[in-house]
């Protein structure tokens, strides 16, 4: 393949740290003056983002693009799968939704078209993603690719376009990341290699150990033994660091109930703290919206799924979801719908974002997502929602509460607001988004809380309604905090990885000479 260099970061498991390692390598290379781009051929996530030209990609790839100091594009994540249930996902191809599909259909026999591009059979998808990677390599010095799950998922190897399937098709060297915090890292790294076909093993150039705690000299004998067993070096031992899991791919694999969003929870600027309860609704999407709240000194953000957990909350956030009707049912089954309604009646703050905004309304007409027809919402806002087959993908900006604000929209639901006050005003003031009645607020705009002035103004209103002597710190800059986190990722690579070896792989590709075969290899 012509153009710039490339590297694939694979992992022994999901959540091994591929996303943050990829971002760290991107930031390290960008600081060296290279033109870098991230790439993930196929991503399964409910956390997504909208590019400047209106394409939807995984939020992790947008974060990695920021690490690379480049603008995100659909080329960086050509296939995005957004789960709608345990068995089906919406397929987003080159930034545009092309339909719902079962896992069996996606990984088996399926065909379709999107803007002239066929998708379905593995060969056609691989041609599409390889073309995107080729374009990125043509315009950049280096492309750092991220795998998905594990490359040793032998049941999916025939249909693989994101791990060894991509690496073999595009002749990419592969570094495998193992999470030592889970335990069993040596077995995981060895076993991952040993379950690959000989042609795939030839591309595995080394390992990275992630999330290590303690004295690295105690680990070194095991690393040497692993090299003796596999013929491959460990290219770094990355220490465990709190707060590096920014813009995760999804929250489906872990229960967030009771989890406090990663933040320093610094001392409040005013006299009181502010407690935020985020409802951990099914198919929760873009829960990264609350990261900006967690970054505020004195704001404690907690995910909840029980009515009693809302009692001491100053603000309840109903986040986005890929299953609005399902989330409504869940809220009612757990008694949370009544708890939220009682808060509203008492004048205590509630904020709904995207799907959360929709379910705060009076009615939802859904023949698209759940096909449930006409469903009663919680009735807290004078809004009726109709699900359209087309998806709104936009990057709006404007003003709210007297402050500039910007965000991004990803939704099928179209809101008909017939009362209350408008919440966010687009640039020029021609259009209003969202609705407010008393202390209940709703908007379709993701990311609006990242606008510092608006976030502070909103939190002042919340504190006043909640009766808290809380005052937002005047100097919190969310974008600057994000940059600090990305620099920490770059430092992690620069200080604890064999950067000379990584640079050789990026620039020169797969090492010359066959690497040792580790039996037994992939089953035939």
- Tell me the per-residue pLDDT of 329-358, one tens digit each, with 9 for 90 and over: 999 999 999 999 999 999 999 999 999 999
Whether residues 228 and 324 share a domain: the answer is: no
What's the rounded Cα separation, in Å, for the pair 47 and 429?
Answer: 29
Minimum mean pLDDT range among 90-104, 268-282, 470-484:
90-104
Whether residues 496 and 466 share a domain: the answer is: no
Q: Is residue 259 part of a domain?
A: no
Q: Is residue 447 part of a domain?
A: yes
Query: How far out from the chain centre does Cα 163 lie?
Result: 18
Six token digits for residue 50: 């909208």
**Residue 484 phi, psi dihedral angles, 5° rounding:** -60, -45
pLDDT band at 244 (very low <50, low <70, confident <90, very high): low
CA distances from 497 to 21, 28, 208, 210, 293 (A): 10, 11, 8, 10, 33
Whether residues 161 and 284 share a domain: the answer is: no
Q: Is the peptide bond before 520 cis (omega within 30 degrees of 0)?
A: yes
Whether residues 408 and 499 share a domain: the answer is: no
Whether residues 218 and 337 share a domain: the answer is: no
Q: Is residue 234 part of a domain?
A: yes
DSSP state of 297: T
Angle between helices 499-508 and 18-31 (to 10 degrees): 90
Is residue 111 over pLDDT 60?
no
Is residue 126 over pLDDT 90?
yes
What confidence score (pLDDT) does residue 114 get?
Answer: 43
Is residue 3 over pLDDT 50?
yes
Short-list 211, 254, 333, CA closest to 46: 254
CB-based burial, 243-258: b 16+ in 10 Å, e otherwise: ebebbbbbbbeeebee
What's the rounded Cα separation, in Å, for the pair 237 and 177?
Answer: 10
pLDDT band at 368 (very low <50, low <70, confident <90, very high): confident
What confidence score (pLDDT) does residue 1 get?
Answer: 39
Average per-residue pLDDT in the chain?
90
Give the mean pLDDT of 247-252.
52
Give the mean pLDDT of 300-315.
95
What is the share, in percent, of the chain residues with pLDDT greater than 70? Answer: 90
pLDDT band at 77 (very low <50, low <70, confident <90, very high): very high
Whether residues 182 and 85 share a domain: the answer is: yes
pLDDT band at 225 (very low <50, low <70, confident <90, very high): very high
What is the share, in percent, of the chain residues with pLDDT greater than 90? Answer: 81
Whether residues 195 and 299 share a domain: the answer is: no
Instruction: Please report, for the domain that includes residue 375, its CATH number.
Output: 3.40.50.880
Instruction: Report CA dihedral (186, 192, 196, 198) to the nearest 10 degrees.
Output: -20
Instruction: Please report, for the domain that includes residue 157, its CATH number.
Output: 3.40.50.300
Give the mean pLDDT of 170-189.
96
**Residue 127 phi, psi dihedral angles, 5° rounding:** -65, -40
What confidence score (pLDDT) does residue 330 get?
Answer: 97
pLDDT band at 241 (very low <50, low <70, confident <90, very high): confident
- The 10s digit of each residue's pLDDT in 425-434 is 876 666 679 9
User: With 0-12 CB in 10 A as exposed, 13-18 as middle and 19+ as buried, what is 397?
Assistant: middle
Is residue 246 over pLDDT 70?
no
Is residue 220 over pLDDT 90?
yes
What confidence score (pLDDT) does residue 271 get?
Answer: 85
What's the rounded Cα separation, in Å, for the pair 353 and 356?
Answer: 5
pLDDT band at 138 (very low <50, low <70, confident <90, very high): very high
- Say if residues 30 and 135 touch (Cβ distance below 8 Å): no
Q: Is residue 368 part of a domain?
A: yes
Q: Is residue 269 part of a domain?
A: no
Is residue 70 over pLDDT 50?
yes
Q: Is residue 114 part of a domain?
A: yes
Whether residues 27 and 157 share a domain: the answer is: yes
Q: Is residue 449 part of a domain?
A: yes
What confidence score (pLDDT) does residue 447 get?
Answer: 96
Range of the domain at 173: 5-245+483-508
- The beta strands (E) that lie in 311-379 are given as 315-318, 320-321, 350-353, 363-366, 373-376
Number of domains the chain contains = 2
What confidence score (pLDDT) does residue 119 get?
Answer: 47
Whether residues 330 and 195 share a domain: the answer is: no
What confidence score (pLDDT) does residue 100 get?
Answer: 78
- Say if residues 228 and 516 touch (Cβ distance below 8 Å): no
Whether residues 232 and 97 share a domain: the answer is: yes
Active site residues: 354, 446
- The 10s digit of each residue's pLDDT in 266-283 is 788 878 999 999 999 999
Give the mean pLDDT of 166-173.
96
Evaluate the CA torsion angle 336, 340, 341, 342 in order and state its sign.
positive
Give the mean pLDDT of 461-472.
94
Whether residues 293 and 339 share a domain: the answer is: yes
Whether residues 432 and 370 share a domain: the answer is: yes
Please provide the DSSP assignment of 211-236 as one string: EE-S-GGGTHHHHHHHHHHHS--EEE
Q: Is residue 487 part of a domain?
A: yes
């Amino acid at each position: 393949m012509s153009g710039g260099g490339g590297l694939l970061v694979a992992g022994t498991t999901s959540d091994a740290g591929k996303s943050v390692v990829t971002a760290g390598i991107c930031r390290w290379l960008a600081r060296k003056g290279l033109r870098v781009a991230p790439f993930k051929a196929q991503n399964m996530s409910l956390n997504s983002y909208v590019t400047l030209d209106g394409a939807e990609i995984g939020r992790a790839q947008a974060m990695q693009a920021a690490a690379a100091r480049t603008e995100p594009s659909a080329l960086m994540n050509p296939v995005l799968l957004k789960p709608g249930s345990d068995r089906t996902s919406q397929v987003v191809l080159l930034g545009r939704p092309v339909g719902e599909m079962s896992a069996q259909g996606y990984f088996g026999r399926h065909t379709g078209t999107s803007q002239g591009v066929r998708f379905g059979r593995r060969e056609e998808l691989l041609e599409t993603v390889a073309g995107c990677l080729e374009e990125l390599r043509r315009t950049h010095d280096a492309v750092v690719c991220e795998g998905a799950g594990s490359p040793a998922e032998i049941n999916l190897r025939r249909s693989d376009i994101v791990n060894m399937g991509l690496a073999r098709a595009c002749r990419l060297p592969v570094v495998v990341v193992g999470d030592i915090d889970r335990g069993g890292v040596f077995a995981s790294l060895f076993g991952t290699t040993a379950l690959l076909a000989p042609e795939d093993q030839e591309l595995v150039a080394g390992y990275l150990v992630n999330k290590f705690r303690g004295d690295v000299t105690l680990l070194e004998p095991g690393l040497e033994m692993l090299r003796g067993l596999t013929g491959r070096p460990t290219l770094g031992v990355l220490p465990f660091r709190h707060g590096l899991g920014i813009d995760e791919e999804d929250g489906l694999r872990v229960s967030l109930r009771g989890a406090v969003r990663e933040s320093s929870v610094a001392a409040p600027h005013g006299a009181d703290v502010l407690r935020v309860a985020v409802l951990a609704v099914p198919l929760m999407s873009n829960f990264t919206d609350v990261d900006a709240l967690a970054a505020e000194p004195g704001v404690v953000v907690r995910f909840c799924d029980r009515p009693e957990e809302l009692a001491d909350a100053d603000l309840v956030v109903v986040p986005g979801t890929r299953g609005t009707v399902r989330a409504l049912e869940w809220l009612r089954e757990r008694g949370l719908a009544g708890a939220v309604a009682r808060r509203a009646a008492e004048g205590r703050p509630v904020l709904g974002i995207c799907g959360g905004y929709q379910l705060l309304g009076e009615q939802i007409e859904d023949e698209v997502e759940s096909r449930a027809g006409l469903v009663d919402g919680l009735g807290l806002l004078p809004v009726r929602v109709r699900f359209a087959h087309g998806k709104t993908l936009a990057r709006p900006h404007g003003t709210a509460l007297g402050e500039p604000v910007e965000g991004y929209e990803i939704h099928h639901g179209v809101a008909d607001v017939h009362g209350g006050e408008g919440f966010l005003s687009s640039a020029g003031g021609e259009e209003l988004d969202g609705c407010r009645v008393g202390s209940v607020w709703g908007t379709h705009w993701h990311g609006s809380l990242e606008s510092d002035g608006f976030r502070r103004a909103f939190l002042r209103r919340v504190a006043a309604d909640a009766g808290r002597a809380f005052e937002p710190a005047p100097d919190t800059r969310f974008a600057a905090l994000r940059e600090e986190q990305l620099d920490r990722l770059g430092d992690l690579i620069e200080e604890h990885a064999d950067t000379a070896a990584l640079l050789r792989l990026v620039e020169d590709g797969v090492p010359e000479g066959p690497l040792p075969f580790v039996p037994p290899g992939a089953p035939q």
